[in-house]
Amino acid sequence: MAAVSSMNKMYGVCFHAVRQTAGLKASRLLQHRAFRVSAVHRQQPFDSSLEKPQFPGASAEFVDQLEFIQPNVISGIPVYRVMDRQGNIINPSQDPQLSKETVLNFYQKMTLLNTMDRILYESQRQGRISFYMTNYGEEGTHIGSAAALDPSDIVFGQYREAGVLMYRGFPLDLFMAQCYANADDLGKGRQMPVHYGSRDLNFVTISSPLATQIPQAAGAAYAVKRENMNRAVICYFGEGAASEGDAHAGFNFSATLECPLIFFCRNNGYAISTPTNEQYRGDGIAARGPGYGMLSIRVDGNDVFAVYNATKEARRRAVAENQPFLIEAMTYRIGHHSTSDDSSAYRSVDEVNYWDKQDHPISRLRHYMTTRGWWSEDDERSWRKQSRKTVMEAFERAERRLKPNPDLLFTDVYQEMTPNLDKQRESLWRHVQQYKEHYPLDLYDK
């Protein structure tokens, strides 16, 4: 709710800015970054004597041959990468030249996320939490993109971007509190597991309905632009979500309103059980960008440096030029879609093993560090032991913590409790008192 409140304030800023703009003096207007107005967007003077198309909706020439445009007119978009699978830099000019400390932080965050995933996945299998979604194989897309952003940039996630939040400093205790829905949960136990959010870290609370975050991100980016805040918005989604109507709305709004927004698509091969060859017929998601007037790029999502470089440049230009960018990160979902899914029903073990053993973002970065003498077998053993201990300690604290006060079922909807909510709350407590042997209230926060 805190995140929603923050967004409401931003939308308020947007409408306030619209009302005030008409009254701004010329000197005040000069202080604001000029909004980009491309010549191709302006209506050209009408000249009936010219034998060329005058239609306002497109820039084109007449032809006298009947020919349909082929679907592969935009096909084979290349995949940008910096490192090969052995962690070698391919083109030195593309090396981001990150410090040893920064690269070690990348690796430790990626592996810590992996460790947290394993423990919470097993926790769900043991019946300790109700649901979980792992991030196996996609860690590079999280950390590479998160590192390229400014902390003030607003993040709209889908439900597989825990690493972005972790990189921004979200503590393990709050990850655990959310999954266990205990009294420390920022969402007060109202969301299902992995639906994180943090107002302090500018991470808008995740919602389950697919692709709703895409038009929301467009609105937030427009508000940010109107306020001239030198901030960007990044919106994560999967290739399956790109089939939703909300994706079209978000792409089109952001392009026509010229918003500083990065659309980050994690193309991991499967939308739950639907493979990409059943999801779309074109050349992936990046091919759609030109149709909306967006600059697009396809990157190797298992190469954390490629993701970092692409996101950093997209972020720089989105803010400087007020325009959206589309990044398609090609990766692979090694784990099941969620604890409700069994991916062995629709893909082979050999397929999964290939990506897990031969083209994993964590092993690729480890090869890079090992080659430079920044990481050893002893370092690996020590870190794995330490990180597991840290995660387990947070896990145990979360299990011992009380559940949220039941009264929180009725708060944060209205500023003042309405009469019907008062009646519902009174009815609840009468029921609980009448059948208190079935309700262990000692497990709930007072």
pLDDT string in tens for the chain (446-residue length): 444 444 445 445 444 443 444 444 334 433 444 344 343 455 556 566 677 888 888 788 889 999 998 887 777 899 999 999 999 999 999 999 999 999 999 999 999 999 999 999 999 999 999 999 999 999 999 999 999 999 999 999 999 999 999 999 999 999 999 999 999 999 999 999 999 999 999 999 999 999 999 999 999 999 999 999 899 999 999 999 999 999 999 999 999 999 999 999 999 999 999 999 999 999 999 999 999 999 999 999 999 999 999 999 999 999 999 999 999 999 999 999 999 999 999 999 999 999 999 999 999 999 999 999 999 999 999 999 999 999 999 999 999 999 999 999 999 989 999 999 999 999 999 999 999 999 999 999 99
413 and 391 co-located in one domain: no
Whole-angstrom Cα distance, residue 183 to residue 405?
Answer: 7
Does 285 reside within a domain? yes
Whole-angstrom Cα distance, residue 152 to residue 341?
Answer: 35
434 and 309 co-located in one domain: no
Per-residue model confidence (pLDDT) at position 243: 97
Range of the domain at 423: 406-443
Does 327 reside within a domain? yes
Whole-angstrom Cα distance, residue 68 to residue 410?
Answer: 58
115 and 231 co-located in one domain: yes
Per-residue model confidence (pLDDT) at position 336: 97
- Closest to 338 measured CA to CA, from 147, 141, 120: 120
Does 207 reside within a domain? yes
* Continuous segment of H or E residues that includes residue 234: strand 233-238
Burial class, 237, CB count within 10 angstroms (exposed 0-12 / middle 13-18 / buried 19+): buried
Whole-angstrom Cα distance, residue 224 to residue 231?
Answer: 7
Structural domain count of the chain: 2
Query: pTM above the 0.75 mark?
Result: yes
97 with 90: CB under 8 angstroms? no
Tokens for 129, please give them: 């939490």
Does 303 reside within a domain? yes
Phi-psi region of 169 (alpha: psi -120 to 50; beta: other; left: phi over 0): left
Does 51 reside within a domain? no
278 and 425 co-located in one domain: no
Residue 14 identity (one-letter amino acid): C
145 and 162 co-located in one domain: yes
Q: Which residues pair with 437 in a beta bridge?
A: none
CATH code where residue 136 lies: 3.40.50.970
265 and 288 co-located in one domain: yes
Does 198 reside within a domain? yes
Per-residue model confidence (pLDDT) at position 53: 84
250 with 235: CB under 8 angstroms? yes
411 and 382 co-located in one domain: no
Count how many Cα atoms sit within 13 Å of the Cα of residue 161 in the half-sphere of its side chain. Answer: 28
- Closest to 304 measured CA to CA, from 140, 181, 79, 424: 140
Whole-angstrom Cα distance, residue 230 to residue 153?
Answer: 9
116 and 140 co-located in one domain: yes
Tokens for 89, please give them: 């830099």
Per-residue model confidence (pLDDT) at position 187: 96
Per-residue model confidence (pLDDT) at position 44: 57
Per-residue model confidence (pLDDT) at position 54: 80
306 and 414 co-located in one domain: no
417 and 281 co-located in one domain: no
3-state secondary structure 51-102: CCCCCCCCCCCCCCCCCCCCHHHCCCCCCECCECCCCCECCHHHCCCCCHHH
Structural domain ending residue among the three candidates 385, 400, 415: 400
Tokens for 42, please give them: 């302006």
244 and 390 co-located in one domain: yes
Task: Measure the N-to-C terminal CA separation of the chain; round to a whole number of Å.
Answer: 21
273 with 345: CB under 8 angstroms? yes
Per-residue model confidence (pLDDT) at position 16: 47
237 φ, ψ to 5°? -165, 165
Does 43 reside within a domain? no
Does 81 reside within a domain? no
What are the helix (H) ranges across 86-171? 100-125, 139-147, 162-167
Tokens for 397, please give them: 């604290």
96 and 170 co-located in one domain: yes
Active site positions, annotated = 122, 208, 337-338
